[in-house]
Amino acid sequence: MTQTAPSTEPDLRHTIVIVGGGSAGIAVAARLLRERPTLDIAIIDPATTHAYQPGWTLVGAGVMKLRDTLEQEGGVIPKGCKWLRAAVSTFQPDNNTLTLEDGRTVGYGRLIVCPGLQLDWDKIEGLSETLGRNGVCSNYSKDTVEYTWTCIQSLAGGTALFTQPPMPIKCAGAPQKIAYLASDHWRKQGTLNRTNVEFCLAGDALFGVAYFRPALQEAVDYYGINLHYKHNLIAVNGPERKATFAVTGPDGKVTKVVKEFDMLHVTPPQSAPDFVKKSPLADAAGWLDVNATTLQHAKYPAIFGIGDVMNTSNAKTMAAARAQTPLVAQNVLASLDGHPLTGQYDGYGACPLTVAYGKIVLAEFLYGGKPAPSFPYDQRKPSRFAWFLKTTVFPRVYWDMMLKGRDIEVPHHPEWSKS
Give the residue numbers marked as catalytic.
171, 351
To the nearest 10°, report the CA torsion of 396, 402, 406, 412.
90
Q: Are 175 and 164 in contact (CB under 8 A)?
A: yes
Alpha helices in 22-132 (DSSP H): 23-35, 56-60, 73-76, 127-130
Helix (H) or strand (E) holding 321: helix 318-337
Quote the CA–CA distance of 409 and 326 in Å, as a whole number. 9
- Helix or strand holding residue 159 (H, E): strand 158-164
Secondary structure letter of residue 122 according to DSSP:
G
Q: Which amino acid is at 402?
A: M
Which 3 state secondary structure label does DSSP give 303? strand
**Alpha helices by DSSP H, 207-290:** 213-223, 274-277
Per-residue burial over 397-419, b if 16 or more Cβ lie within 10 Å, else e, is bbbeebbbbebeeeebeeebbee
Pick from 171, 145, 198: nearest CA to 351: 171
**Of the candidates 279, 273, 275, which has an alpha carbon nearest to the alpha carbon of residue 93?**
279
CA angle 306, 312, 315 (to 5 degrees): 85
Distance between CA 137 and CA 143 in Å, rounded?
A: 10
At 287 the three-state DSSP class reads coil
CB 164 within 8 A of CB 139: no
Distance, CA of 365 to CA of 210 (rounded, Å): 11
Strand partners for 110: 16
User: 146 with 139: CB under 8 angstroms?
Assistant: no
